[in-house]
Amino acid sequence: MSQPNRMVEGKVVLVTGAGGGIGRDIALAMAREGARVVVNDIGASVSGEGNDAGPAQQVVNEIRALGGEAVANTDSVSEAVSAGRIVQTALDTFGRIDVVVNNAGILRDRFFHKMSLDEWDAVIKVHLYGAYYVSRAASTHFKEQGSGNYIHMTSTSGLIGNFGQANYSAAKLGIAALSKSIALDMQKFNVRSNCIAPFAWSRMIGSIPTETDAEKARVERIKQMTPAKIAPLAVCLASDESDYANGQIFAVRNNEIFLISQPRPVRSVHRSEGWTPESVASHALPALKAMFFPLDRSGDVFTWDPI
């Protein structure tokens, strides 16, 4: 695989949750573009149960068949010690680490008033704690070498909203804030941090109902959005070609790439004498109401078919 001018030639890239879906395609794309890859996956179900070394090793085998370099790791991101071992695998095998792709995830969907503590904890631990633990373990090495790159998977479920995903949405919006904080704190060490909100057909969304003709048609449209569509942006963000992109949130939907807005003030009101509850009710809220945001879900904002 010694072709010239590859985007991430020689970089050591760690991809969590890379045994299938989006993570697998990112790992393969990184390898094709010259990276040495740590393929992390515990081999659990979508809900996070069980473990199997097979998926991670299978992706490693695919990369090696392409002539690339890769190593499998089956540690969990959801505990600090095991997350540290994932990063250590990169150091032990390849001697350094350049890019962390925080992709590992599980789902425990439930309407909020029915959500259990375990369903909340499990999702927060894998997504938000996992992104923190792996990022934190790599941060010391990034600082010492004066370079590093984080790519985190967020979701429009958190950025915009969705039904039945309070745990997942809270974690994914938290990841966006984590990424921005890393970007601010570590830019002086030449470390970057960005997010991708992926739209892709994978086992993570494979439970969408297909009972009616309309539902079946919708799923067929979603299936156009293969996990491989996410990989080009991830590879570019991992490369030095994108060294000016830091603290940003992108979304990928089939052949579309979006830059996602970040919260900023949209309207203000003031009273020189200060506010009372009554004046808030009679003045502030009515004045601000025209700019209130509707209770949108992701699908209410992305209303057109994938392009």
Q: What are the structural domains of the chain?
A: 12-259 (3.40.50.720)
Structural element, H or E, at residue 149: strand 148-153
H helical segments located in 66-209 = 80-94, 117-124, 130-145, 156-159, 166-186
In this prediction, residue 1 carries a pLDDT of 46
pLDDT of 40-75, one tens digit each?
A: 999 866 665 666 568 999 999 999 999 999 999 999
Distance from C-alpha of 116 to C-alpha of 278, rounded to nearest angstrom: 38
Distance CA(7)–CA(31), nearest Å, equals 10
227-268, pLDDT tens digit by residue? 899 999 999 999 999 999 999 999 999 999 999 999 999 999
What is the percentage of the chain residues whose pLDDT exceeds 70?
91
- Convert the pLDDT of each residue in 171-207 to its tens digit: 999 999 999 999 999 999 999 999 999 987 655 455 5
Catalytic residues: 168
36-40 β-sheet, strand order? 69-73, 36-40, 12-15, 99-102, 148-153, 191-199, 249-253, 256-259
Q: How many C-beta neighbours within 10 Å does residue 265 have? A: 6
90-130, pLDDT tens digit by residue?
999 999 999 999 999 999 999 999 999 999 999 999 999 99
pTM: 0.92
